[in-house]
Structure 1
Amino acid sequence: MTRILPAIAALILVLAGGAWLSGRSATDALVAPALGQDAAADVELMPDYVLGDDAAPVTVIEYASFTCPHCANFHGDQFKKLKTNYIDTGKVRFIHREVYFDRFGLWGGLLANCGGEVRYFGIAGMLYDQQKDWIGSGDPTEILANLTKMGKTAGLTEEQVDACLKDEALATRLVATFQAHAETDDINATPTLIIDGDKHSNMSFNDLAAIIDEKLADS
């Protein structure tokens, strides 16, 4: 489980634009303004992206980061079983909410949201499945190239990907949405699951299924 450090929780993040592409070091780039509570309150939050039946008796919210290895493992195992056994069968309504530890995770969020509702979960799945590949050596230029290639694979044009990765308004909304949800649900690590309002840390699929089955029995 990856924990959110106070400095990251304060969101001292580069949001978008030229600083990402300037070749400056990561330390130099982390100088864009953080969003305080007052500023975040003035930003229109992003809508939730939902998988499954809106009328499903159980709702599972996952808080995860595209750069978190534990989250990638969760999506390669537990999530796929959850989708097959509970989401696709109408038993669970699933919501994925992004957490940002670093600018690269935010870049991934910009790419995932670039495709809108139609492409969101497909791109998010690619970001988790290919996490080691697109992060590569950690070089920002390499990561941008990898994300551009991934976006084109998902059906976006290079121009669309470039515009999304430079979209300061979208980046601001993503960060504000993360702040608002993380504060409401007291999120301090990833992956974190909110199952019908109850918070849980990462767990095996069998343990997750047992909790969901108990919720279903009570519904």
Structure 2
Amino acid sequence: MKRRNLILGGFAVAGLGGWALTSNLSQPGSTVIVGAANAQSTDADVDTSSIQEMALGDENAPVTIIEYASFTCPHCAAFHQGPFKQLKSEYIDTGKVRMIYREVYFDRPGLWASMVARCGGQEKFFGIADLIYKGQSEWARAGEPTAIVEGLRKIGRLAGMDNETLNACLQDADKAQTLVAWETKNREGDDVTSTPSFIINGTKQSNMPYADFKALIDAELEG
């Protein structure tokens, strides 16, 4: 079965149209991509050019970091609530690093969270992402799909969006399909098998303590 069908097809969930995830993906909070998330992509024919890269920092920064993360991954939440803030202060805000954030979809809540984060566009994305990670232990474990989505809607409302706008984003089946194809293309292209993972100036790195992260960046800056 096509991976996009595992994410998008199957059964309807109230308020989410007919594209809810079916089953058999890994549980929320997984850090290693397994099962259906490892299925070979068959979405090469999907045009993903409409998906915007979410990035922070100077486009001409000497170091570019691509982060692969899932909104349902606890290790990703820990990174964003700790090391990421140091990274932003020391390297991104000072023009030394450009950070590109790419979502990984372990499960349907991760996809829904991505669609809510992207609902506000580039301007609001990272602020909403921060709220999503801060509240991960609540919304991601809310139980039924409708409860999870309501938790995400609440975060969207905190970011200044109304329910009509949020529902339109969550029910955009074409956008969901395109996001899944985009995610698959990027993840497979960079051989990402766990989250968070980082591509630092073209070299893949796994999660690590901030001191080690800093040492790798400094080496690139000195090189």
TM-score range, shorter chain: 0.7 to 0.9
Residues 21 and 89 of structure 1: CA distance in aligned 2, closer, same or farther (over 3 Å): same
Residues 1:116 and 1:16: Cα distance change in structure 2 (over 3 Å): farther
Q: Which residue is 1:39 aligned to?
A: 43
Paired residue secondary structure (1:208): helix
**Please, which of 68, 82, 98 is the counterpart of residue 77 of structure 1?**
82
CA gap of 1:118–1:18, structure 2 versus 1, over 3 A, is farther
Query: In the alignment, which residue of structure 2 is the partner of 1:3?
Result: none
Structure 2: which 5+ runs fail to align?
25-36
Deviation at 1:44, TM superposition (A): 2.2
Shift of residue 77, structure 1, vs aligned partner: 0.9
Q: Which amino acid aligns with 2:14?
A: L
Secondary structure (helix, strand or coil) at the match of 1:117 reads helix
- Residue equivalent to 1:29: 22
Q: Which of these residues, 126, 141, 144, is aligned with residue 131 of structure 2? A: 126
Equivalent residue for 1:4?
none
Displacement of 1:14 after TM fit? Answer: 3.2
Structure 1 residue 17: Cα displacement: 10
Do structure 1's residue 65 and structure 2's residue 70 form an aligned pair?
yes
Structure number with higher helix proportion:
1
Partner of 2:13, secondary structure, is helix
TM-score using structure 2 length: 0.84
Q: Which has the higher contact order (CA 8 A, sep 6+)?
A: 1
> Which residue does the alignment assign to 1:117?
122
| Corresponding residue for residue 165 of structure 1 | 170
Unaligned runs of 5+ in 1: 1-6
Shift of 1:16: 7.5
* 1:179 equivalent in structure 2: 184
Query: Which amino acid in the other structure matches residue 29 of structure 1?
Result: T
Alignment TM-score, normalising by the size of structure 1: 0.86
